Structure 1
Amino acid sequence: MALTCVCMSANVYVVCLQHALSTEKEEVMGLLIGEIDVDAKAKISAVVMLRRSDKSKDRVEISPEQLTAATIKAEELARTLGQPMRVLGWYHSHPHITVWPSHVDVQTQAMYQMMDQGFVGVIFSVFLEDKTTKEQEVQVTCFQSPSRMAEGSMTPDHYMDRVEIPLRIVTSTCLSQPCLQSMVELPEILVEEEDEVYQATKRLPYLNQLAQLHNSAVYTKSLCHIAEVVEGPLLNALEQRHASNLKKCEDLAHEMKQLTQALASLPPIKSA
């Protein structure tokens, strides 16, 4: 059954956008988790951020091990939440370029649809600047590959074909635990990526002391950048949310006290 639309939780949208804005020079990627209802609506309620094996401004890859790990996480969420959950799609970023999928994106989407016809792709185009107003904007698109491509009958002339799927952002009353966990994991994933690159440079042969010192300085600078641009603002946002929640709890407790006093002052109800 063809998908009618994709309903993405506002929590998931915030997490994906935070991931896309974490780096201005390379693309990022993650997997979307949720379920498809009887009306062929894909409801996305969780996200799995992926650690990049290849950091590039125009290419991002996912390993089979990461897809397997995401599937396991979806099964764990299904048991925790008591509802069906599975990997429904993937998302990645387009920093400084158009939101429309490239021919590589369309081919990748077609490959995923061979395994699951309900699989969708979402692209976040970030760091786009209007040359006149100098204002930045974020664009989002949701797409699938044509069925003939997903069936393996594509031709080079059809590589740029795509099917746009309506995307709806569903309001969330609170930050869900799975999305909160994903937000907290983002700085850890970025540090792991930098550490992997740094450890690889240490294994290079004939590396003199000056080169080692330079690599260490670049590694330290990258960690400081993550702390300043990602971890610091995230911590401030969570602290503000925590303060807002405490204030809301105080207001609700005060309202409950007033209602309790009002009920106590009412005359007793006489039974017939």
Structure 2
Amino acid sequence: MMWVSSVRMAADAYLVCLHHALTTEKEEVLGLLVGQYTEGTDGVKCDIYSAVTLRRSDKRKDRVEISPEMLIEAQQKAEQMSAACGQELNIVGWYHSHPHITVWPSDIDLQTQAGYQQMDNRFIGLIFSVYNEDKKTKVGTHQVTCFQAINQNPEGESPQYVRLAVPLQVTPQPKIHSNNQQALESLCSTLYEEQNEVLEASRQRSSQYPLAHLHNASVLVRSVCNLTSLVSGPLVATVESQLQHLQEQKHQLQHEASYLRQLLKDNNISTTAA
């Protein structure tokens, strides 16, 4: 069996995962990672290019699950990315968040990871620990770890999985790739669909529990407001900042062009191409 020796992750894909993790501090969120493997003499290397955010099929505080339908949907997105960029891409791993708790994988995380590795032993996992605070500086911090699961018990005995640390390097990118831009833009709709599924289930029982349904509807409204504050607001601010930067660049280039035209005129140099 060949273990993954190192992982390189595009900075914009890292941004998607972190932004997704910060959308809620009460429950874990999850998604899948798109990239490719390269096998060499020093082991398997994994490159992550994009992240696919997913709806949660299990919204308990201490666990997340990926349904088969979500895996199929994510693989279809990977195939679309492959066609767009001209290289073969696949689902190479998954990520989930640990709000207010340590970055290390739980026993459930290790069992989940081991299950994925049964399908492909190169599959990797990322955990984003968010909403933590440095005790000395009182400054908010986040951590990320990359891991695989390895069974430390002999064959024939009940498996006991432990964490196998995988080195992770975040590589800078000149711009946000369109796939990751779309993932950021779809965060609101993904989280809204999760909340709306709960409301729809409540609506079916509204005649029996009208007050419970009214409460759930109010929770949905509050959640939408939180999404606007946590997701839409920062995205709009980022776009406005980029727009301002581009406008300043445009103004500077126009000023330089005006200066160069005047310089050519003063030196009696024609600007008309021969």
TM-score in terms of structure 2 length: 0.86
CA distance in 2, matches of 1:79, 1:260: 45
For 1:73-152, list aligned pairs within 5 A.
73-146=77-150
Give the Å deviation of 1:145.
Answer: 1.2
CA distance in 2, matches of 1:11, 1:154: 43
Note the alpha carbon deviations across 1:48-89, whole angstroms, 9 max, x for none.
000011212111010011111111111110110111211000
C-alpha RMSD of matched pairs (Å): 2.8
- Structure whose residues are more often strand by fraction: 2
How many pairs are equivalent?
265
Query: In 2 relative to 1, CA 111–148 (structure 1 residues): closer, same or farther, beyond 3 Å?
Result: farther
Structure 1 unmatched ranges of 5 or more:
268-272
CA distance in 1, matches of 2:163, 2:93: 15
TM-score in terms of structure 1 length: 0.87
Q: Secondary structure at the match of 1:90?
A: strand
- Using the TM superposition, name which of 239-248 and 51-60 deviates more: 239-248
Give the Å deviation of 1:130.
Answer: 2.8
Specify the alignment match of 1:158 in structure 2. 160
Query: In 2 relative to 1, CA 42–228 (structure 1 residues): closer, same or farther, beyond 3 Å?
Result: same
Give the conservation status (yes or no) of the 8 Å contact 1:57–1:95: no
Specify the alignment match of 2:234 in structure 1. 233
Percent identical: 44
CA distance in 1, matches of 2:137, 2:18: 22
Specify the alignment match of 2:225 in structure 1. 224
Query: In 2 relative to 1, CA 247–215 (structure 1 residues): closer, same or farther, beyond 3 Å?
Result: same
Specify the alignment match of 1:15 in structure 2. 16
Structure 2 unmatched ranges of 5 or more:
270-274
Query: In 2 relative to 1, CA 213–106 (structure 1 residues): closer, same or farther, beyond 3 Å?
Result: closer
Give the Å deviation of 1:172.
Answer: 0.7
- Using the TM superposition, name which of 113-122 and 239-248 deviates more: 239-248
Query: In 2 relative to 1, CA 46–261 (structure 1 residues): closer, same or farther, beyond 3 Å?
Result: farther
Give the conservation status (yes or no) of the 8 Å contact 2:50–2:179: yes
Query: In 2 relative to 1, CA 208–163 (structure 1 residues): closer, same or farther, beyond 3 Å?
Result: closer
- Using the TM superposition, name which of 128-137 and 225-234 deviates more: 128-137
Give the conservation status (yes or no) of the 8 Å contact 1:4–1:166: yes
| Counterpart code for 1:215 | N
Give the conservation status (yes or no) of the 8 Å contact 2:152–2:159: no
Q: Secondary structure at the match of 1:43?
A: strand
Give the conservation status (yes or no) of the 8 Å contact 2:54–2:70: yes
Give the conservation status (yes or no) of the 8 Å contact 1:91–1:121: yes
Note the alpha carbon deviations across 1:8-59, whole angstroms, 9 max, x for none.
0000111100000000000000000011124422110111000011212111
CA distance in 2, matches of 1:167, 1:26: 25
CA distance in 2, matches of 1:262, 1:61: 66
Give the conservation status (yes or no) of the 8 Å contact 1:148–1:154: no
Query: In 2 relative to 1, CA 202–174 (structure 1 residues): closer, same or farther, beyond 3 Å?
Result: same
